[in-house]
Structure 1
Amino acid sequence: MKNQLVSFDEVYKIVRGHCLSKFPQHAECRPQLTLNWHLKACGSLLHALAPGINFSHRTDDVITELDRYIINDNNREALFSDLSDMTRSMAENGYLRPDKDGDDNYYPTDKLIRTPSIRF
Structure 2
Amino acid sequence: MPSFLTPQIAPILLLCISNVFMTFAWYGHLKFTSKPLWIVIIASWGIAFVEYCFAIPANRIGHTVYSAAELKTMQEIITLLVFCVFSITYLGEAIRWNHLVGFALIAAAGFFVFHKW
TM-score under structure 1 length normalisation: 0.34
Question: Rg: which structure is higher?
Answer: 2
Which structure has greater helix proportion?
2
TM-score under structure 2 length normalisation: 0.34
